[in-house]
Structure 1
Amino acid sequence: MILSGLRPLTGTYRLQLRNGMDFSAACQQLDYIAGLGVSHLYLSPIFTAQTGSTHGYDVTDPAQIDPSLGGRAGFTQLSQHAQRLGLSVIIDIVPNHMAFGLQTPWLHDVLRNGAASRYYRHFDIDWSRKLVLPFLPMPFEDMLHGGNFSVTMAPDHHPVLRVVWDGGGFDVPLCEAPQLATSPVTDPSQILAVLQRQIWQLSYWEQERDAISHRRFFNITGLIGLRVEDDQVFADAHALTFDLIDAGLVHGLRVDHIDGLADPTAYCVKLRERVGEHVPIWVEKILTDDEPLPQEWPVDGTTGYEAGRQIARILTPVAGLQRLDLAWRAATGETGDFHTAVMQAKSEIIVQELAAELHQLIALGHQALAAQWGDQVGPEAMREAILALLQHFPRYRLYIGSKYPEIAGDHDLMQHVTQQAAAAVRSDRVVRALGAILTAPNDDPGRAFVLRFEQVTGALIAKSQEDTAFFRYNLFLAANEVGAEPDAATLDVPQFNNWLQSRQAQWPRALTLTSSHDTKRAEDARMRILAIAHCPAEFAQLFDAEFVQMPGVQANIGWYVVQSALGLFDPRRDDMADRLAAHMEKALREGKQISNWMHPDLTAETAVFDGARALIARWQKQVPTQVQKITDLAQSLGLLQVALKHLMPGVPDLYQGCELGAYQLTDPDNRETIDFARLRQGAALSGYDGAKAALTAHLLQLRADRAAFFDMANVSITVDQDAPDHMVLTRQRGADDHVIKLRFSPNLASAPQPISGTSLLPAGHHYPFDLVEAPMTKDLSAATKPQLIFPVSG
C-alpha cells in the first residue's frame, strides 16, 4: 500500500547497497536522509546477485530480492519506514543482462534441460552452435587428460560434470548423460563422449574473445544478454519489479544500460504502459556531444551525466585550458587531439577486446548481402567495411532497427557515417552496401545485421573512449568523464542558456548528477582538477617539481599522476598513497599502452606506483604552495557546482557521502563505505565540509519548499550587465512572480556590490556567489550577451 504524505519529486539520494550496507543498515540512516530535504531514496540493484557482488549489476535471479541484503521482508521494512518519513523509493533495474555463471538459476536450467528448458530462449545465445562456457582456468585438453574432469551425481541426484583443480572447482549440469554406476566416470574418452552430447562446451577463459556464443555486456563475458524484446522474457524479468510497484513498495525506476537492448524505444513504451504515468522512469543513456535524448521515449529523462558535464564546462575557462594544453604538450611531447586518440583506441578495441563481436558482425554482414551479391564479397573486404563503419560511428547507437518509427536524425547520421567510412577504405563498394542496409533494412538478414551493429557500437565507444582514451589523453582529466567530450571541455553563455532552456522545456524531471558509482571521479576531485585550468602556470610548476622525482615514469603518465593526486589529496586520511597506487594500476591497465589486465607489466607499473606513493609522502610532510592554491580555488568551484546543480532545471541527485567534500577516484574508490556519523554533523563541521553540507541541505529544502515554482519556472543565464565578468542564472515563473537569481563568476572574481534581493544562502558560512530572491521587475532572458573569455591567473 502506498502511504499518504509522500513528498513530490524534488531531489534523490543515491545509496549503494552491499559492502556493509544492507536494508537494515539503510533503515538506520533514513531519518538523516529524509532530513536533508530529498524526496526519494534511490537504491542500487536489490535483486539477488552473484555471491560477493560489490555492486549488484551481476544479477543471478531477478525474481528474488537478495537474501544477503535482507530479502523481501527487509526491503518491505525499508520501504515502509522510508514512506513514513515521506520518502518514495526508486530501484535500479537491469534488463539488459544477467550473470553468466552457474549461480544463475535460469541458465542452470538451460544447461540441465536444453531446448526443453522454459528459459532456453530467454538469453541472447547463438543456438546455431553450442553454448560456449569459458570457465576453465587451463586449456580443455590439458584438464581432460589431467584428471580434472569427472562425471558424477550431484546432491540432487542429477548427473553433472565435476571440474576440480587446485584452488577451485564447479559442477555443470548434464542434459544428456548415461546411467551412472556407483563410481564416478573418470576415463577421458568416456567423459568426452558425454560432453559431445551436451548443448554446451567448456573452453579455456583466455579463448573467450574468439569463441563466445552469447551477447555479453560490453567485453564482460561474465554477463549474458537478455532478450527482453520477447514478451515472455520481459514478463519474467520484470515480474518482481511490477509486484513491488503494485504493492506500493517501489515508486520509481532507473533503467540500467538502455542502449544494450534490442529495441530501446519498444522497451520504454512497454515499460511505461505497464507501470503507468505515476511512476517516474529514468534511463542510463550516455549522450555524446550534442546528441538529444529521443523524444519518442516515454521516460522522465536520463540519469544526468550530461548535466554534470555542462556544469564542468561552464566553469572551465577557455584561455586557461589553452595555456594548460600548451604546457602539457611541451612537458610530454604529445601532439595529437582527443579525436585521434579515440579513433586509435577503436581500431585496437574492436580487433582485441571485441574480436568476438567483430566475427559475429562479419558473418551477419555476409548473410545480409547474400541475397543481393551471393558469395561475391570476400572476407577481408567485409572485415574492412565493417571496421570502417564502426570506427566512424560517433555515438552509442542508432535506433533504426526499432519496430517504432525512426528516431529523428538517425537516417541522416548513418548516411554521414557511411560517407566517412567510404572515404577511408580502398574500395567503398561494400561499405556503401552495408550503409544502405543500416539506413533501411528490408529483410530479416538485414535487420539481424542492423540489430547487432547497433548493440556493438555502444560497447565499442564505451571501451574505446571511457575505458581507454580517457586514460591516454591526459591533458585535463576533469573533462575525461562519462558523458563528456575532452575536445569540447568549455561552454559559452549562449550555449549554456540554450541547453538549460531546452532541458526545462523537454526534460524538466531528468536527474542532475555530479557524482555516481560510475563517474570517473567524485565531484570535488573533479573540481580540484578543473581548478588547474584556472591556474595553469602553477600546475605546470607543480608538475615540473614532482616529475623529476619520478624515475622511470613517462611524462604523460606523470601528468596523470599529479592530477589524480590533487583530486584525492586529503591530509585527514592516511590511505591516500594506497588509493592513488590502486587507481594508477587501473589507469595503466585500462590505457593499455605500458600495461594491461591480461598481461600486466609489473616492472613498468611499479615505477609509477613508487612515484605516486613518494609524491603523497612529500605532500603529507609539506603541502606545496601550488597545491594549496589549487585546492583552495577548487573549494569555491565545488560550492558553485552545488548551487548550479540545485538551481538548474532537472532533479538534483545526491550521491551518498557527497554532502561533504568527496575526493574519490573511479570505482572501486567511489564505492567506499560511508561514514554516516560524520555526515550527520553536516553544517556544524568546519571549513569546506560544513559549508558544502549546509548549502546542499539548504538548497534541497528550498527545492522541497518551492516544488511548484521549480517545476514551472523558466530559466535563463545571462552576462551580468553591472559586472561583466559575472553570470546570472535566473529562475522565474510569470511576470508577476518572484524571481530567484544566482550571480557568480566562473573565475571567482569579486563582485562590485551584492545583488539586490533577499539572500537565500545559509548563515554561518561564506559563499563565493550571490543567491537571492526578489520581486520580478523585468524579463532578464533578453540580456544574453556574446561569449566572454574570462581571465585566469598564472
Structure 2
Amino acid sequence: MIPRIPTATFRVQLREGVDFDTLAGRLDAIAGLGVSHLYLSPIFAARQGSTHGYDVTDPTRIDPALGGREGFEALARAARDRGLGIILDIVPNHTAFSVENPWLADVLARGRASPHARHFDIDWQAGPLVLPWLPQPFEQMLRQGDFHVADGQWHMGDLSIPLAQGSDATDDLRALHEAQHWRLVPAAKERDAITHRRFFNVTDLIGMRVEDARVFDDTHALITALVRQGLVQGLRVDHVDGLVDPAGYLARLADAVPGIPVWVEKILTGDEPLPPAWPVAGTTGYEAGCLLTRMLTRVDGIARLDAHWRQTTGIAEDFPQALMRAKHDVLDHELAAERRQMARLAERAVQPVTDADFGPETLREAVTALLTAIPRYRSYVTDRGADGEDRAMIAAVADRAARDLRCDRAVRVLAGIWAAPANAAQRDFVFRLQQVSGALLAKAQEDTAGFRWTRYLAANEVGAEPDHPAVDAAEALALLRARRPGDMVLTSSHDSKRSEDARARIIAASHLPDALTELDDQARGLAGDLDPQWRWYVLQTALALQGAPEAGDRIAAHLEKALREAKQTSFWTRPDAALEQAAGDLGRALLAEWDRDRPAALTALTDRGDALMLAQLVCKMLMPGFPDIYQGTEARFLALTDPDNRRPVAWRALTAPATGDDPSAVKHRWTRALLRLRADHRDWLARAEVDLTIDAGGLTLTRHEGERRLTAHLQLPQGAAARPDPAAILHWTGPDGCHVALLAHGPGWTRIDN
C-alpha cells in the first residue's frame, strides 16, 4: 500500500533523454535510495522538442515522445511493484500558444464559434486573436512573397495556420488575412497588441479558463482517469496563483480526485500564510528551503559583506527600492500589454461609479500605482468580495499607492472595486488584477531585481527575500512549529536559481566574509573594465560552481542569461555582446586561476560550504514535513538557474558505492541513511515536537517526544576541535574543524552510519 503522505519524494525531470522506459530502468536505484514516491515533471503532450513539458499542446493525451499512455501505465505498474507512488506535476493555468495545440488550431479556423473558444483566456472584445509570430512587418513580408495559401492553410516558412472555414482562397492575400479570426503581427508588437492572457510574459503560453466547469472537466479528464485507475497517488499544481479562483479550482480538483493529496506551487512572502481553506496537503516547499538558508546564514557576516559590496559597487539603495524600480521597468516593457489591458478593464469597471470620470492616463497611473504597491503575489477576492485579511491588505496597498500621486481619487475608487466588485465588468478587472500582480512580482523580483541587487546571492532565491537573509532562533522556531507533516521541504528544483550545494558555498561567505572579500580583491586584477557590480556577481557564481564539470562553459552561459535578466544594459532583444563577453571571460579566468593555484581563501569557503551542505541535509530530513530530493542532489550537486539545473544527471551515481570521507560521498551515504531513518520512524516524526537554537557556536535542531529525541547539530570551530558525541549516529568533521552530527537519545534508535 503506497502511503498517502510521502516519506520522501524523488523529483525527476522527464525529456532530454529521459522517457518512461528509461526511468523504469532506474526504479530499483531510486527505490533503493529510500524514497516513497516518484515526483514527475509534466507528462502530457507538449510542443515538438519540448525540453520541460510545461508547454502542453493536448492535456487529453500523454506525450508519445515519452512513451504515451502505454508507457506510462507500464512505469506506474513497475513503480508500484517497488513500493513507489507517483506524484504528477499538472499545468492547469496554460497550454501552448501554437498551431500544434489542436484546440487552439480549431479556434484559429472557427473563431468564437469553435467549441474550444471558451477554453482559452482570449479578449475577443479587442478584435481578432493576435498572433505575434512575424519576424518582419506584414506588408514587407507580403511584398517579399513570404506568404502563400494552400490546402486551407496560410503558409509562412515552416508555419501553417488554419484559414477560417468558408473564407475563399484568393490572390488578394491582404483581404484574405483581414477575413480571418486571427491577425499576424510582428513579434516586436507583442507588448502592444496581444489579445490572450500569457503565462507571465511568455507569449507562447496561453491562459486556460479552468474556472469554467466544462473547461475544467475537459482539461482534467485524463488526470482524473489516471488517479482513479490507481496510477497516480498525488498531484502537484503548477502556478496556482495564475488561476482566476485558486480556492474554487482546488475545491473542484478535490471533488474530482477525492482522497488524493495535492501540493501547490505557491510562493509565500513575509508572514503570509497558506490560505487555510485550501484543500491541500501543503506547498511545494520554497519557503522551507529559504528558511534553511536563513537558519544557516550568519548575521554578522552579512553586515561585513554588505559594507564591502556597497563600498566596491557604489550601490546605495536597499532591496525594496531596487524592487520598486524593477516593477516599473517590467510594467513599462515585459508586461506592458497586461497593463494596457488592465487600464481598459479599469475604464469599464468605473463606469457605474458616480463622479468617476477618469481619463485613460489617470487610470493607467492608478493601475500602475496599485500593482507596484502589492507586497504579495496576489489577493484572493472572489464573486463574494474580499475576506478580512484581503480587505486589510487592499487598504494598505491603496494607502501606499496613493503616496506619490498628485490625486488619489482613481486609486481609491479602484481599491473599493477591488475589495467588493459589484458587476461583471468590475469582477473582470479584479480577477485580472490578481493574476497580473503575481506575474509582476515574479518577473520583477526573481527575474530582475534578483540579478541586480547582488549583495548575497544565497538569498536571491525563488520565494526568498534578499533583504532578510538571516533569521533568529525565535522566528525560525515559530515557522518550524507552524509546519505540518504534509508540507514538502524543497532545497533544489528545476526552478531554483542555485542548487542547494551551490547555495551552501555562498552561505559559507556569511561565515567567512573576509575570505570572499580577499577573493574579490584578487578578482579585481582579472576583471578589466567590468563593472564592480558584475564582478561581485561573477565571483559568487564562480564560487558556487567551482569544481563542477564543464564549469567554464556553464558559467559563461549563465552570465549571459543573468545580464539579460537584469535588464540594465543587456537585453534578450538587444544583447550587449561586449559586456556579456567580459563577464564570461572573468568567470572562466577565475575558475582557471583557481585550478592552477588554489587560494587558501577559496579552500576555506568550500570547506565551510561542505559542512553547511551536510548540515542543511540533516536539517532538511529532520524538520517538520517531508523532504523532496531533486534528481542528482543525493550527492553533491552544483548547478545554476535553468537550463543549467536541468542538465542530464549522473544516474550511475545512484547505484555507485559511496565510500570515503569526501563530502560528496558522505552526502550520498547520509541521504540514504537519513531516508531509512525517516521510513523507520515515520509516525514518530509526524508527531514529534521541534526545538531550535542558533548561536555563535552553531545550530541545533531537535525533534522530541517523551524520552526520545533526535538532534541535528552544526558545531562551528571555537578553538578546540569538535568532538563526536558518543550518542551520534551520524557525524562528520571537516578540515576546518566544523562538525556536523545527528545525535540520538532515548530508546528505539539504531546506529545508521559511522
Same fold (TM over 0.5): yes
Q: Deviations over 1:622-680 (max 9, x none)?
A: 21211111001100000000001000001100000001111100001000001111232
Aligned match of 2:333 in 328, 347, 352? 352
Look up the match of 1:148.
146
**Deviation of residue 113 (structure 1)?**
2.2
Look up the match of 1:781.
none
Q: Is 1:479 aligned with 2:459?
A: yes
Contact 1:682 1:689 in 2 (8 A): no
**Deviation of residue 499 (structure 1)?**
0.6
Matches within 5 A, 1:275-354: 275-277=257-259, 279-354=260-335
Q: Deviations over 1:492-532 (max 9, x none)?
A: 011111111111xxx32111010000000011100111111
Look up the match of 2:486.
509
Name which of structure 1's ranges 532-541 and 464-473 shifts more when overlaid on structure 2: 532-541
**Deviation of residue 763 (structure 1)?**
9.3
**Deviation of residue 192 (structure 1)?**
1.8
Q: Deviations over 1:12-37 (max 9, x none)?
A: 00000001111111011110110111
**Deviation of residue 380 (structure 1)?**
1.5
**Deviation of residue 746 (structure 1)?**
6.3
Look up the match of 2:751.
none
**Deviation of residue 443 (structure 1)?**
1.8
Q: Is 1:615 aligned with 2:575?
A: no
Contact 1:48 1:61 in 2 (8 A): yes
Where 1:121 maps in the other structure, the secondary structure is: helix
Look up the match of 2:520.
543
Name which of structure 1's ranges 133-142 and 634-643 shifts more when overlaid on structure 2: 133-142
Measured in 2, the distance between the counterparts of 1:748 and 1:48 equals 56
Aligned match of 1:497 in 477, 500, 511? 477
**Deviation of residue 744 (structure 1)?**
2.6
Look up the match of 2:752.
none
Look up the match of 1:204.
186
Name which of structure 1's ranges 517-526 and 326-335 shifts more when overlaid on structure 2: 326-335
**Deviation of residue 384 (structure 1)?**
1.2
**Deviation of residue 322 (structure 1)?**
0.1
Name which of structure 1's ranges 463-472 and 393-402 shifts more when overlaid on structure 2: 393-402
| Identity fraction in percent | 47
Q: Is 1:260 aligned with 2:242?
A: yes
Q: Deviations over 1:393-446 (max 9, x none)?
A: 11110001355x845511101100100111121111111111111122122211
Where 1:14 maps in the other structure, the secondary structure is: strand
Q: Flag structure 2 segments of 5+ consecutive residues without an equivalent.
A: 748-754
Look up the match of 1:738.
708
Q: Deviations over 1:762-784 (max 9, x none)?
A: 799998233222229xxxxxxxx
Matches within 5 A, 1:132-211: 132-153=130-151, 159-164=152-157, 169-180=158-169, 185=170, 187=171, 190-211=172-193
Call closer, same or farther: CA 1:296–1:253 in 2, change over 3 Å: same
Where 1:516 maps in the other structure, the secondary structure is: coil
Q: Is 1:563 aligned with 2:540?
A: yes
Call closer, same or farther: CA 1:509–1:178 in 2, change over 3 Å: closer
Call closer, same or farther: CA 1:682–1:446 in 2, change over 3 Å: farther
Look up the match of 2:507.
530
Measured in 2, the distance between the counterparts of 1:336 and 1:765 equals 38
Aligned match of 1:641 in 616, 620, 628? 616
Matches within 5 A, 1:80-99: 80-99=77-96
Look up the match of 1:78.
75
Where 1:519 maps in the other structure, the secondary structure is: coil
Measured in 2, the distance between the counterparts of 1:7 and 1:33 equals 19
Q: Is 1:689 aligned with 2:689?
A: no
**Deviation of residue 198 (structure 1)?**
1.4
Aligned match of 2:408 in 428, 443, 451? 428
Q: Is 1:113 aligned with 2:110?
A: yes
Contact 1:511 1:651 in 2 (8 A): yes
Measured in 2, the distance between the counterparts of 1:481 and 1:295 equals 25
**Deviation of residue 179 (structure 1)?**
4.9
Measured in 2, the distance between the counterparts of 1:452 and 1:103 equals 27
Measured in 1, the distance between the counterparts of 2:569 and 2:353 equals 46
Measured in 1, the distance between the counterparts of 2:100 and 2:211 equals 24
Contact 1:7 1:39 in 2 (8 A): no
Look up the match of 2:445.
465
**Deviation of residue 60 (structure 1)?**
0.5
Measured in 1, the distance between the counterparts of 2:425 and 2:92 equals 25
Look up the match of 2:750.
none
Aligned match of 1:24 in 4, 21, 24? 21
Call closer, same or farther: CA 1:746–1:388 in 2, change over 3 Å: farther
Contact 2:732 2:741 in 1 (8 A): no
Measured in 2, the distance between the counterparts of 1:413 and 1:40 equals 38
Measured in 1, the distance between the counterparts of 2:733 and 2:574 equals 54
Where 2:196 maps in the other structure, the secondary structure is: coil
Measured in 1, the distance between the counterparts of 2:712 and 2:438 equals 38
**Deviation of residue 116 (structure 1)?**
2.7
Contact 1:317 1:746 in 2 (8 A): no
Where 1:468 maps in the other structure, the secondary structure is: helix
Contact 1:7 1:86 in 2 (8 A): no
**Deviation of residue 683 (structure 1)?**
2.4
RMSD value over aligned CA atoms?
2.0
Matches within 5 A, 1:31-70: 31-70=28-67
Q: Deviations over 1:150-197 (max 9, x none)?
A: 2221xxxxx111113xxxx211111144455xxxx4x3xx21222222
Where 2:611 maps in the other structure, the secondary structure is: helix
Aligned match of 1:448 in 406, 428, 431? 428
Q: Flag structure 1 segments of 5+ consecutive residues without an equivalent.
A: 154-158, 777-794
Measured in 1, the distance between the counterparts of 2:454 and 2:261 equals 38
Call closer, same or farther: CA 1:593–1:563 in 2, change over 3 Å: same
Call closer, same or farther: CA 1:407–1:677 in 2, change over 3 Å: farther
Q: How many residues align?
A: 745
Call closer, same or farther: CA 1:194–1:725 in 2, change over 3 Å: same
